[in-house]
Amino acid sequence: MGSVTINQPDGAPGVMELVLDRPEAHNALSTDHARQIVAAVGELAADPKVRAVVLSSSSPKAFCVGADLKERNDIDDDGLRAQRVVFRAMFTGLLELPVPTVAAVHGYALGGGLELALSCDLIVLEETAVVGLPEVSVGVIPGGGGTQLLTRRLGWSRAADLIFTARRLDAAEAYRLGLADRLVPAGAGAARAAALELATTIAGHSPVGVHNAKRAMRQGFDAPLAAGLDIEDAAWRATAFSGDRKEGVAAFNEKRRPDWPGE
């Protein structure tokens, strides 16, 4: 049985749900689990019908508790080096998905689990969530993008506070600091429902426009302003002369819902 599943939720056209499905281990990231996530992300990236992705968990208690330290205890240095290649492919694949991604986080999201969420474009936190990057407390550092993505979200000093102290945050503080984009009340499936609603809204817009907007934002984020504006201009041109732009203008004038050609 696989530890990852891909679903197409009812009533959410264009949205696919990637479910971390290793509940007996609270989705601890073993090497095999990471390989399955890599394969699933690759499948989603190759599917032109996908317009948004929700990353969720089947565990009632956790989104993902991070690296499987029971497995790590039995891995020698060569094994750790080999695992590192798989883990980097997992985080990079999720980060580089061409469509918007939304993490639906409840319960524990620690270490690599929080980094999976940070690799998504948007994060929905349920009030039950507990998040943190505890790596320095077990002799490593965040290696799934945490030192970079958390700093970009929160700024240097707030990220340094969380990474250097390895402390955990409850959902309210995490949301206040800006680690999450939505905070929803506790309830069975509340984060998932909110994430699906958000993804469905996104998927209803021009796929060409959304894709190019994400590309421009990602590529231009760390660029000098002039270079960023050039990146934006190229993305604008790729969108403005597409079938989606023609359909969007026609639908607006005809007062109807667009039927996006996606090209």
* Active site members: 67, 112, 115, 135
Contacts of residue 210, defined as CB under 8 A and 6 or more positions apart, other chains included, come to 51, 52, 99, 100, 202
What's the rounded Cα separation, in Å, for the pair 247 and 212?
17
Nearest C-alpha neighbor of 110 from the set 57, 173, 64, 58: 64
What's the rounded Cα separation, in Å, for the pair 91 and 150?
14
Nearest C-alpha neighbor of 115 from the set 87, 149, 159: 149
The first and second tokens of residue 96, run together, are 């580089």
Nearest C-alpha neighbor of 69 from the set 128, 4, 130, 140: 140
Nearest C-alpha neighbor of 207 from the set 53, 74, 73: 53
Distance from the Cα of residue 124 to its chain's centroid: 10
Cα–Cα distances (Å) from 129 to 106, 191, 198, in that order, read 5, 10, 19
What's the rounded Cα separation, in Å, for the pair 162 and 135?
11
Query: Strand, helix or coil at 55?
Result: strand
Contact call for residues 121 and 195 (beta carbons, < 8 A): no
